[in-house]
Structure 1
Amino acid sequence: MSLDLQLRLLDEPHHLQSVLREVFFDLFERQLEGAIMVNRDARVVWLNDRYATLLGLASPLDALGAPIETLIPHSRLREVLATGEPILLDVMDYRHQMFVVTRFPVKNAHNEVIGAIGILLYERWEPLKPLLAKFKLLQSELDQARRELGKQRRAVYGLDDIIGQSPACQQMKCLAQRAAQLDATVLLEGETGTGKELLAQAIHNTSSRADMPFVALNVAAIPDTLLEAELFGVSAGAYTGADRKGRDGKFKLADGGTLFLDEIGDLSPALQVKLLRVLQEQEIEPLGSNRLLRIDVRIIAATSHRLADRVTAGLFRADLFYRLNVLLIVLPRLCDRQTDLPALCQHLLQQITDRAGLATRSLTAGALACLARQRWPGNIRQLRNVLEQACLHSDRHRLDACDFDQLLPDPVAADTIAPLQETLAQAERQALQAALIACGGNRTEAAKRLGISRATFYEKWQRHGMLEAQQPGSTTWR
Structure 2
Amino acid sequence: MPAKKPPAALTTLASSQDDLLERQGQLIEELQTLVNHVPYGLMVLEPGGVVRHLNAEAARQLRLPRHLAQGRTLGSLLDFDTMVEQVFLTGEGYTDRERVISTPRFQLHVLDTAVPVKAADGRVLSVVNTFREISGVHRLAGRLAGSQARHTFDTMIGQSPALRATIAAARKAAAGQANVLLSGESGTGKEVLAQAIHNASARRDGPFIAVNCAALPRDLIESELFGHAPGAFTGAQREGRPGKFEAASGGTIFLDEVSELPLDVQAKLLRVLQEREVVRLGSTRAVRVDARVVTASNRDLHAMVARKEFREDLYYRCHVIALALPPLRERPADVALLATHFLARYGAALGKPVHELPAAVLAALLQHPWPGNVRELENAMERLVNLSEGGTLDAAALGLMPTAASLPAAAESAPAGVRSLREAEREAIAQALRAHRFNVTRTAQALGIAKPTLYAKLRLHGIALERPLA
- Asked if these proteins are the same fold (TM beyond 0.5), I'd say yes
1:161 to partner: Cα distance: 1.6
Corresponding residue pairs, total: 297
- Does residue 387 of structure 2 align to residue 409 of structure 1? no
1:403 to partner: Cα distance: 4.0
1:257 to partner: Cα distance: 0.6
Change in CA separation of 1:281 and 1:199 when aligned onto 2, cut-off 3 Å: same
Aligned to 2:314: 320
Q: Is the 8 A contact 2:353 2:390 kept in 1?
A: no
What pairs with 1:205-224 in structure 2 (closer than 5 Å)? 205-224=199-218
Give me the whole-angstrom Cα distance separating, in 1, the residues matched to 2:458 and 2:242: 42
- Does residue 140 of structure 2 align to residue 148 of structure 1? yes
- Does residue 375 of structure 2 align to residue 359 of structure 1? no
- Match of 1:399, SS state, is coil
Give me the whole-angstrom Cα distance separating, in 1, the residues matched to 2:395 and 2:354: 18
What pairs with 1:62-211 in structure 2 (closer than 5 Å)? 148-152=140-144, 153-211=147-205
1:242 to partner: Cα distance: 1.4
Aligned to 1:331: 325
1:218 partner amino acid: N
1:424 to partner: Cα distance: 6.8
1:362 to partner: Cα distance: 2.4
Give me the whole-angstrom Cα distance separating, in 2, the residues matched to 1:275 and 1:223: 16
Give me the whole-angstrom Cα distance separating, in 2, the residues matched to 1:230 and 1:143: 17
Which consecutive segments of 4 or more residues in structure 1 shift more than 6 A? 101-104, 137-144
What 5-or-longer segments of structure 1 have no aligned partner? 1-87, 92-100, 105-136, 426-478
1:368 to partner: Cα distance: 1.1
Q: CA RMSD in A?
A: 3.0
Change in CA separation of 1:166 and 1:270 when aligned onto 2, cut-off 3 Å: same
1:306 to partner: Cα distance: 1.2
Aligned to 1:47: none
- Does residue 407 of structure 2 align to residue 382 of structure 1? no
Give me the whole-angstrom Cα distance separating, in 2, the residues matched to 1:154 and 1:219: 18
- Match of 2:407, SS state, is helix
1:211 to partner: Cα distance: 0.4
1:168 partner amino acid: A
1:369 to partner: Cα distance: 1.5
How big is each residue's C-alpha offset from its partner over 1:97-143, in whole Å with a ceiling of 9 and x where there is no partner? xxxx9698xxxxxxxxxxxxxxxxxxxxxxxxxxxxxxxx9799988
Aligned to 2:84: none
Give me the whole-angstrom Cα distance separating, in 2, the residues matched to 1:223 and 1:392: 34
Give me the whole-angstrom Cα distance separating, in 1, the residues matched to 2:162 and 2:376: 19
1:172 to partner: Cα distance: 1.5
Give me the whole-angstrom Cα distance separating, in 1, the residues matched to 2:132 and 2:281: 31
1:157 partner amino acid: H
Change in CA separation of 1:186 and 1:361 when aligned onto 2, cut-off 3 Å: same
- Does residue 365 of structure 2 align to residue 371 of structure 1? yes
Which of 151-160 and 252-261 deviates more?
151-160
Greater radius of gyration (CA): 1
What 5-or-longer segments of structure 2 have no aligned partner? 1-61, 66-75, 80-128, 413-421, 423-455, 464-470
Q: Is the 8 A contact 1:220 1:267 kept in 2?
A: yes
1:317 to partner: Cα distance: 0.7
How big is each residue's C-alpha offset from its partner over 1:139-178, in whole Å with a ceiling of 9 and x where there is no partner? 9998875653353332111111210111011011112111
- Match of 1:341, SS state, is helix
- Match of 1:212, SS state, is coil
- Match of 1:362, SS state, is coil
Give me the whole-angstrom Cα distance separating, in 2, the residues matched to 1:234 and 1:347: 43
TM-score between both structures, scaled by the size of structure 1: 0.57
Q: Is the 8 A contact 1:201 1:214 kept in 2?
A: yes
